[in-house]
Chains A and B, each alone.
Chain A
Amino acid sequence: MSELEIAVPRPRRWNEPFGEMAEADVDALLRIEPFRSIDANAFPPSLPLRGILLGDTRIGRYQAGDLIVREGDYGHSAFLVLAGTVRVVLERLDAKLLGREEPPRRSWRQAIAQLWSNAKLPEVRASAGANDPANDRVGTRDESGTARVFLQDVPRLLEKTGSVQLGVGEIFGELAALTRTPRTATVIADGRATLLEIRWQGLRDIMRRSPAIREHVEQLYRENSLRVHLRETPLLYDLPDNIIEQVALATEFESYGNFDWYSDFGPNHARDATEQIAAEPLIAEEGDRPTGLLLIRSGFARMSQRHGHGHRTLAYLGKGQVFGFSELIESHATGEGVPWRHSLRAVGYVDVLRIPTEVVRELIIPNCGLWIADCGLRMQDTQQSAIRNPKSEISASDARLLDFLADHRFLNGTQTMLINLDRCTRCDDCVRACAATHDNNPRFIRQGPKHDNLMVANACMHCVDPVCMIGCPTGAIARDANTGTVRINDRTCIGCSTCANSCPYEAIRMVEIREPGGAFLVDEATQQPILKATKCDFCAAQLTGPACQNACPHDALVRVDMANLTGLSQWLGRKAG
């Protein structure tokens, strides 16, 4: 072995366990349901049930009023009640209680006052936050190194909202964990409670090898979400309820890619484009016989076609979009097998619903009836809302742009900041406007990856899949339910950097804060600086909307929803003039 090589153990899945589980804890778990009924022999030696419980779970002890999950949080784990009870709040709680108070929109007077009230020094705060004196109904405490937020006077709180009690052996949070969707309800500890928290990887592996648990979770999904999702698919709008019911029963769930895709993606993990496409899990391969109609449930998939020795991106599909319908229609019309014309690959992580070919032939196509052409058109419209017409030849420049957007996973953005470098005079009016509207602190950097004369700036894109929200211990970073903007509540941010480390686009920056006199605030215990996460808030509190876009004199900067590639295409098209 040369001196330039050092032998180290290969990193393995459980090198960084989810929690600090002891062998005795695992023994205890294996004696109770549902783990007692799981056949440990169904697990391969490389992935034993015991290992999953040791590495992918942790036990949390909660006190009365502790918030276990908040409605709207991005979950990556499910919970099993081991002792005590918890309460699922049936109605939406006051945003302030959840640490998500919307910043009030400034009045004209307050807006003008920014002229003289903005701090002269960077990152000045009146207080370090976290324990917000303005909100005496919420507190925080430290539980074995984990920050916990608790509500006070829970009974009075629940008087108005109503709740459901869950007891020992019951599971909650599994759908949000598996489908990467926001938590649909807030759960509070009802007295002292002990919960087993299992991260999604472990839950997925147990589901794969334990039919009972898989059926239980899938049944929950079928009951709660699947029909709604099918109804939201344009292709299935007009199907009668009984047909939707049958389609729902036959639908298969599939997941591709890595749920934690952001952990090995970003500027530090740059790959050759060909390598990157090859590494993306294949969902459907060009030339294969269609096995069903594919509906994207969450995440993104790259639709590509063979081109020379590589693959050319034609489009990317997001939630609600379908793949393979035209082949099935053609096959139905001609009576001949038509192979998939394109390949579909998972970009990051994708949840797919597969409606088997027979079901499409027997239930969907006949019920489209005379509107079959309309169905085809609708599908085309759906895809065109995000892509060019996949049937037509796309230009080489479009293909390169799509490759760029997919390779960098910018398709995740709903408010991506694009700068046309052919028009940008580098005047920095956008940066100055951002600073002026954020207490003299710019919240983005006018730098970023370039494609020809298009630059994607390092500004929060307010992602469809906001991985930054995963793991925030206080729920300080959250998506605004009304606007979809991902915001950080400065008062409840504890500066743990989880969000900044998770963001693959480098859009969140940790800053050291100062008091109004200019002195840096430091932790009295460790003397380390107190940090806060900062990023673009899309000027939520301003009267003007995004100051950056408004401040650009040259039509060079725009915030774009990447799901609307038609809009992007129009904006790009006009730069030619």
Chain B
Amino acid sequence: MSFFTRRRIRNASLLVLALAGIVWWVRAREQTLDSSALGTGYLLLAAVFFLASYNVRKKLPFLPLGGSTAWLQWHIYVGIGTVGVFALHARTAWPSGWLEALLAVTFYLTVGSGLVGLYLTRTIPPQLARVSDEITYERIPAFRRQVRRQAEEVVLESVAASGATTLADFYTARLYGFFAGARGWRYLVRPTSALRRALMREMQDVRRYLSEQEQIGCERLFTLVRRKDDLDFHDARQKVLKLWLFGHIGLTYALVLLAVLHGLLAHAFHGGVA
């Protein structure tokens, strides 16, 4: 059993135990005809603040507040645990008031984005590692320009050397757009190698019409197409990783604000004996 599997089992067991303890406490309160809403509400609010504080921890790497790995593990399991506490607190999947409904939606979206992020951060890195080069996200536009310039030089050189324009025509018709810039949003959501394979096939087909000089250029274009596709892949996958976090943190801020407002209103309209 690997280290990570053992850690998952240990942390999941602790979570189940903690949730069981909370359920037991809620039932005990209810058996005495007492309300548990305030208790679970505060627990939920504390959990939300704790989860949000992970981002603060990241801004303070110079303080001995524990390793980020441990924080992330707490963040994941406390985050999953809040779903159980939320269920105990709200008692319904869809609260009636508009503020509570908004709060619930924000909560679901935050938890959902967290789970999506967990999936993405565990599945995208191996995909990136399989691409030959390690590419820094911020440098991708510069690399793209470089590849495009190289491709244009190859085409111009082959025209000058052969006097034929077959390769240049093919480049203008099929490759210019590919080298021009980033891929569209569809590729961002679901990157595939379909376009790369299609372009490779078409280049293979057009080879029979190329002069010897142009064929040399075509070979170099093959390499550049592969390089550009790798850059696009890194760009798309790394962008998803960054956008996800951006969304998750934005939702967290909204959740903290709404949760605090909900708490204040709950106290203000609590009623009971003055």
* Chain A residues engaging chain B, CB cutoff 8 angstroms: 106, 108, 111-112, 114-115, 421-427, 429, 432-433, 436-437, 446-447, 450, 452-453, 455, 542-544, 547, 549-556, 573-574, 576-577
Contacts and interface: CB of A to CB of B under 8 A. Distances in A.
A421 B242 CA distance: 17
B124 interface: yes
A148 to B, nearest CB: 37
B1 A550 contact: no
B3 A544 contact: no
B134 A421 contact: yes
Contact of A108 (B58, B63, B69, B121): B63
A553 B62 contact: no
B204 interface: no
* Overall SS of chain A's interface: loop
Interface stretch (B79-87, B95-103, B125-133, B145-153): B125-133
B50 interface: no
A552 B68 contact: yes
Contacts of B62: 106, 111-112, 114, 436-437, 542-544, 547
B241 A426 contact: yes
Contacts of B136: 426, 446-447
B109 to A, nearest CB: 21
B129 A422 contact: yes
A543 B2 contact: no
B215 interface: no
B71 interface: yes
Interface string B1-31: 1111100000000000000000000000000
B64 interface: yes
A427 B121 CA distance: 10
B187 interface: no
B245 interface: yes
A421 B58 CA distance: 21
A395 to B, nearest CB: 17
Interface residues of B, number: 30
Given A544-B64, A547-B61, A553-B69, 18 more contacts: A106-B62, A115-B60, A422-B129, A424-B125, A425-B124, A425-B241, A426-B128, A446-B136, A453-B126, A544-B63, A553-B72, A554-B125, A556-B125, A573-B3, A574-B4, A577-B2, A577-B3, A577-B5
Interface in B100-147: 121, 124-126, 128-129, 134, 136-137
A436 to B, nearest CB: 5
B61 A425 contact: no
Given A111-B63, A544-B63, A577-B4, A427 B245 contact: yes
B61 A421 contact: no
10 contacts: A111-B63, A421-B129, A422-B125, A426-B125, A429-B68, A437-B61, A447-B134, A550-B61, A554-B121, A554-B125
Nearest to A426: B238
Contact of A425 (B60, B125, B134): B125
Contacts of B3: 573-574, 577
A175 B131 CA distance: 49
State the 7 A-B residue pairs at the shortest beta-carbon distance, nearest first. Answer: A577-B2, A574-B3, A433-B61, A421-B129, A577-B4, A553-B72, A553-B68
- Name, among A106, A429, A551, the residue most crowded by chain B CB atoms within 10 Å (CB to CB): A551
B271 interface: no
B121 A577 contact: no
- Name, among A108, A547, A574, the residue most crowded by chain B CB atoms within 10 Å (CB to CB): A574
Contacts of A549: 67
Contacts of B134: 421, 447, 450, 455
Contacts of B4: 555, 574, 577
A554 B63 contact: no
Nearest to A424: B125
Nearest to A115: B60
Contacts of B63: 108, 111-112, 543-544
Given A425-B121, A425-B125, A436 B61 contact: yes
Nearest to A457: B134
A428 to B, nearest CB: 8
A577 B61 contact: no
Nearest to A454: B129
A52 B85 CA distance: 81
Interface string B182-201: 00000000000000000000
A271 to B, nearest CB: 20
Interface in B241-264: 241-242, 245
Contacts of A112: 60, 62-63
